[in-house]
């Protein structure tokens, strides 16, 4: 009896009191094992670059890698700024912030796929656009897993969006070359003018 009492005390202390014993002297074997959902998620649009007017098709894949069926999970997709939702497969609701949310059931070992299409209307001031997909348990507001897809803005489009373009840079290079040419011409002219009196003195 004393041995069983010590075992129960150790188990409860080790779990910080989060587990409750089924009886006064419950042993470790009779206590439930905590279940932690194991999930993987990935979002990808099959592209690495973007430009105005381009339509990106984002594919979200969520897989249950654990040992427990997960019902009523929320899958969300946050579109990049400057884009407009063109359509989403399998329904989904769109919130005021533009985030698309689906409610899914995910049995053990299974995968759900959701697809979203978005059009780039205006490029941001950064060097690319990012779209993030997350998954959270039913009734929770905290994501368990997230994945982000990033598409880079080509230099020409980035220059047009920021107002500092390749033309400006090339123009600056042309001005620099012109200044260098003027400096070289002025130096050679002074050198020739200085050499002329010396030649006259030698002739005398």
Residue 142's CATH number: 2.60.40.1530
Name the residue with higher pLDDT: 48 or 201: 48
Looking at residue 190, its pLDDT comes to: 54
Q: Residue ranges of the alpha helices (H) in the chain?
A: 2-14, 155-162, 166-203
105 and 51, same structural domain?
A: yes
Specify the 3-state DSSP secondary structure of 139: coil
101 and 63, same structural domain?
A: yes
Cα dihedral 18/22/25/27 (nearest 10): -70
Name the residue with higher pLDDT: 186 or 140: 140
Task: With respect to residue 144, please indicate whether it lies within any of the assigned structural domains.
Answer: yes
Which secondary structure element, helix H or strand E, spans residue 116, and what is its range? strand 111-120
74 and 147, same structural domain?
A: yes
Task: With respect to residue 27, please indicate whether it lies within any of the assigned structural domains.
Answer: yes
70 and 1, same structural domain?
A: no
Average pLDDT for 70-86: 95
Average pLDDT for 62-90: 94
- Per-residue pLDDT tens over the stretch 145-166: 999 999 999 876 666 655 544 4
62 and 5, same structural domain?
A: no
Residue 133 has pLDDT above 80, yes or no: yes
186 and 136, same structural domain?
A: no
Residue 23 has pLDDT above 90, yes or no: no
Task: With respect to residue 204, please indicate whether it lies within any of the assigned structural domains.
Answer: no
47 and 28, same structural domain?
A: no
- Per-residue pLDDT tens over the stretch 28-48: 344 344 455 899 999 999 999
Assigned token pair, 38: 């194991």
14 and 105, same structural domain?
A: no
Task: With respect to residue 117, please indicate whether it lies within any of the assigned structural domains.
Answer: yes
Task: With respect to residue 112, please indicate whether it lies within any of the assigned structural domains.
Answer: yes
Residue 63 has pLDDT above 60, yes or no: yes
Looking at residue 202, its pLDDT comes to: 47
Characterize the bridge pairing of strands 111-120 and 83-88: antiparallel
Percentage of the chain modeled with pLDDT above 70: 58
Enclosing domain of residue 186: 164-194
149 and 52, same structural domain?
A: yes
Residue 58 and residue 42: Cα distance in Å, rounded? 10
Task: With respect to residue 48, please indicate whether it lies within any of the assigned structural domains.
Answer: yes
Residue 21 has pLDDT above 90, yes or no: no
Q: Which stretch of 113-127, 128-142, 160-174 has the lowest confidence by average pLDDT?
A: 160-174
Task: With respect to residue 101, please indicate whether it lies within any of the assigned structural domains.
Answer: yes
145 and 57, same structural domain?
A: yes
Residue 91 banded pLDDT, cuts 50, 70, 90: confident
Residue 98 has pLDDT above 80, yes or no: yes
For the chain, the domain total comes to 3
58 and 14, same structural domain?
A: no
Average pLDDT for 186-192: 51
173 and 109, same structural domain?
A: no
Task: With respect to residue 190, please indicate whether it lies within any of the assigned structural domains.
Answer: yes
Residues near 144 by Cβ (< 8 Å), separated by ≥ 6? 37, 39, 134, 135, 136, 137
């Amino acid at each position: 009896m004393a041995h069983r009492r010590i075992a129960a005390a150790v188990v409860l202390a080790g779990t910080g009191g989060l587990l409750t014993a089924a009886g006064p002297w419950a042993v470790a074997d009779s206590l439930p094992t905590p279940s932690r959902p194991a999930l993987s998620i990935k979002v990808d649009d099959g592209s690495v670059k973007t430009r105005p007017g381009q339509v990106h098709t984002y594919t979200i894949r969520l897989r249950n890698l654990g040992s427990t069926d997960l019902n009523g999970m929320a899958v969300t997709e946050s579109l990049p700024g400057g884009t407009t939702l063109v359509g989403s497969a399998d329904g989904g609701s769109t919130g005021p912030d533009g985030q698309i949310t689906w409610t899914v059931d995910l049995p053990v070992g299974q995968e759900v796929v959701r697809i979203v299409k978005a059009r780039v209307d205006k490029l941001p001031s950064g060097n690319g656009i990012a779209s993030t997909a997350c998954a959270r348990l039913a009734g929770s507001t905290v994501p368990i897993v997230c994945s982000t897809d990033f598409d880079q803005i080509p230099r020409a489009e980035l220059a047009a969006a920021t107002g500092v373009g390749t033309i400006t840079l090339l123009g600056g290079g042309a001005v620099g070359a012109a200044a260098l040419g003027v400096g070289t011409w002025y130096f050679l002219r002074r050198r020739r003018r200085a050499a002329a009196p010396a030649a006259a003195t030698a002739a005398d």
